[in-house]
Amino acid sequence: MKKSLIFILATLCTISSISVFATEKFTTQLQIKNGELIPQVLEVPAGKIIRIKVSNIGNQPAEFESTQLRKEKVLAPGAHSVVVIAPLRAGSYTFFDDFHLDLPAGKIIAKERAE
């Protein structure tokens, strides 16, 4: 009986921590059109998992890349994907289309939530 109660409590704690963790995600959108980043600046909350839904709406290959964040994702024309980024500290992080280095880079700006 005691072991069953401990197991039930441990399971409930695990489930509640998973559901709290799941709500700590923030999703945003990014389109890449032949090297143009739309929008060029992504504002995200600091301290939350970031999901960037990336769509290549151009007719050339595109690559979301950030050396600061150690992320890269190559997309064929018309392709869609998701880049997941661990919680960030407040600050600015650059990203770019590695196939179009002649065009301006983008920024992810992580901001502390205003209380």
What letter does residue 70 receive in the DSSP assignment? T
Spell out the CATH class of 25-111: mainly beta
**pLDDT tens, position by position, for the chain (115 residues)?**
666 656 565 555 555 444 445 457 999 999 999 999 999 999 999 999 999 999 999 999 999 999 999 999 999 999 999 999 999 999 999 999 999 999 999 999 999 976 5
- DSSP bridge pairs for 97: 64
The whole model's pTM is what?
0.76
Cβ pair 58, 97 in contact under 8 A: no
